[in-house]
Structure 1
């Protein structure tokens, strides 16, 4: 998701320039559309690569040496392994079409158990470790939307606005529906929306360059 971080960085730079009065008031940025958030094509490609990888393992000269060709034939079923991963990729593709609040609600639900087949013990192990937690990438897309919301709201204020004004302006607008923005101590001081996952990249935040003192939260909920 390098492109998400690059775009978020550009938004942060524009916000900083406007706060310092170095540029005219920029135009509001539209939120990401469902099509822009969609991971349908990406998940199709990921699934195809994984299925190809499973199929090629039987041709890997090192794999039969370690496990024995007969054992490989009996205990590893490439097609069965690929089919077991398909629901995961389909679920991720569907989740990418959800709104931020729907996505947050979905994280509170336990994913359905992945099907395991006793005829494919090696494949069961491989499937269990083959799929990363893709919800972190979906969260970054919604976190970027949160930054866009902050950007648009702060840009309605005149340059040199106070932290109190920033807080008031961002009291609403959290795409996750998880409450108003809060101040987080720096440096620099930041205005952040809460979200359902940890925001290590601070995508849900914008730096505030005003120097006025204001009550600051010691931390932000994940």
Structure 2
């Protein structure tokens, strides 16, 4: 095989791995994380040793916590994530799940998942759902009970309840740790320099201050 062909094959292999895989492929049937070794309380359960299979039970593969909505935020949104933290059987399988409920007229702010594509199923209600591609084109539509929509990995997407009752959505990710960055919080709650924000958005210092007070996480407020 010529050196050039070898290099091309290596590059193609690397690009294929990067493009089509979110999490590494599992190398065994399952890996229930042994949390007694989680001394620094990391959320990276895939880094923990696996339990001995004799210590694993059916309960490790079942989670019952999404039968009803969780607590609602001040944006009328309730989310219950399902990941190795509460469903150990998901560890190393390259997927996770979420139940989301939206009160009438309320929304899930524009956000994105840097490590996963998301597919959502509308369990009940009518939800204006969509995403924005890298050319700033919006793909959005009102989705109804029984319909499914996909949000490509890394693209900003959003949802708003436009029905007459609480909407329920189930979402699935092709990563056990998809990550999430909400655009308003990233812009105004992360500590980006005020002058830069003023120039970027044409806002006054007073307006920047108002936005910061709204979006800075409560846990870091003085």
Shorter-normalised TM-score: what interval?
under 0.3
Normalization by structure 2: what TM-score? 0.21
Per residue, is there more helix in 1 or in 2?
Answer: 1
Q: Which has the higher contact order (CA 8 A, sep 6+)?
A: 1
Larger-Rg structure: 1
